[in-house]
Amino acid sequence: MEWEELQKKEKFRKQILAMKQQVEEDIRKAMREDVTRQQKQSKADYEETSAAIAFQVKELHQIHSGLTKALMNINEELIKEHNISMEELNKKMEKIALAH
């Protein structure tokens, strides 16, 4: 009787442990997917904004060469911000991978 009770408790403990591990893996997977989604969205936003700025630069270059320089500076800042954002997202992804 006592042996059966211990076996039941051990089986229950293993079930709880398996459930805990599955929840942890699900959380890691969700975090990876979220970071990947953020990376894709960041890249899409960057490309869209960069293309719009490049178009404006081209148009304004024909009109005002002084404004072109300012827009190029804005575009450079956008590139820097994008690179920083991607680095942060990559660091998050590395942390998630290391947590596994």
Determine the Cα–Cα distance for residues 76 and 40; give it in Å rounded to an integer. Answer: 20
Q: What is the pTM of this model?
A: 0.57
Output the six-digit token pair for 50: 């960069």
- Cα separation values, 79 from 36, 60, 92, 97, Å: 19, 20, 20, 27
3-class secondary structure, 63? helix
| Domain spans in the chain, listed from the N-terminal domain onward | 2-99
Using left for φ > 0, alpha for ψ between -120 and 50, and beta otherwise, residue 61 falls in alpha
pLDDT tens-place string over residues 80-100: 999 999 999 889 888 888 876
pLDDT tens-place string over residues 31-41: 999 999 999 99
In this structure, are residues 57 and 72 in contact, taking their beta carbons and an 8 Å threshold? yes
